[in-house]
Structure 1
């Protein structure tokens, strides 16, 4: 009976760990220039060459970022223009391998070396630990929002997190998710049309 309870506890622990590992929430870090007023701007665009461009040409990853950023900026009232925007939005992404050494609790069986315990008592659930090294792709995405006239960074968002096989196969969805999560921390909304006309 005790062995069955210990095995059940081990299975539940494994399911819990698997559930945590599949969460797609990134770690988000943001910085904003002191005194910056994001409501003072109404239009945005992209620099001639973004951080994800390579060798002087635009990449597919650049297109994915532009689509996701446009959607988020327009949701906040900013209007995309190709010439003389108030804000420039730049972005960069990097993927590298990360390794972790993990100790996974397991159940210590009451046989083999530990056979002397059999029928007398069991170890507590999750007594033993298996040590393993896990290597996985880890991604970082940056979004910079720049005052186009002053050429000054006024807001920066960084998203970091483990990438899964599906993310590598469908980067469009992974980029869209990262950009959406970053913009949940973006405090700006465009100035109203009335305010723009008054100026």
Structure 2
């Protein structure tokens, strides 16, 4: 029973990652770098073990795609994949949280009174605040780069968005785009401590 519950939880957790990339306006992207880190000294990377998205001890279709997309982003910046002695550990995490939006806005309604003088009903407006409550699921996807020697986080990129539905054929491509949008905020190339101008994330 415990294994079944754990599997279901993991499936739901990883399943939203594809949905996150399906948001109509794209997820919100942010990043932060350690100003004291020597980025010029980083030339290789490998994946942290165990990955946060594989904490159950096995890979999934979604985690494999996230790893492939992240690896492509790192290698496009000149980093070499080195499982034995990397300069950087790359970790991937994903989680979701139920959220509530409460929106109040002015509205008008009418009371009707019969006027004996006018011999008809008269509409009298009155104003009030209308409150709507919306429930939704917010997903967060983040990539951490950790200095392997110091075991210290030196950069993280985060995407946050509402979980939305998408056609299966669109999900993989949008997931790749979401990963690219996150790494567009990573301004360094392998062996270079000089930031390059990052590509603006997709709006």
Paired residues, number? 163
Scaled by the length of structure 1, the TM-score of the pair is 0.67
Taking the aligned partners of 1:128 and 1:180, their CA distance within structure 2 comes to 46
Taking the aligned partners of 1:174 and 1:82, their CA distance within structure 2 comes to 28
- Tell me which protein shows more helix as a share of its residues: 1
Name the counterpart of 1:22.
24
Q: Which runs of 5+ in 1 are unaligned?
A: 1-20, 193-199
SS in 2 for 1:48: coil
Taking the aligned partners of 1:156 and 1:90, their CA distance within structure 2 comes to 9
Runs of 4+ in 1 over 3 A off after TM superposition: 103-106, 111-118, 127-130, 167-175
- Tell me which protein shows more strand as a share of its residues: 2
1:191/1:56 Cα in 2 relative to 1: closer, same or farther (>3 Å)? same
1:99/1:151 Cα in 2 relative to 1: closer, same or farther (>3 Å)? same
Scaled by the length of structure 2, the TM-score of the pair is 0.66
Report the CA distance between 1:52 and its aligned residue.
Answer: 0.4
SS in 2 for 1:69: helix
Taking the aligned partners of 1:93 and 1:169, their CA distance within structure 2 comes to 22
1:104/1:72 Cα in 2 relative to 1: closer, same or farther (>3 Å)? farther
Residue 186 (structure 1) aligned with residue 178 (structure 2): no
Whether the aligned pair in 1 keeps the contact of 2:111 and 2:123 (CA below 8 Å) is no
Deviation string, structure 1 residues 27-55 (Cα, Å, up to 9, x no partner): 33322223213232221110221000132
Residue 150 (structure 1) aligned with residue 150 (structure 2): yes
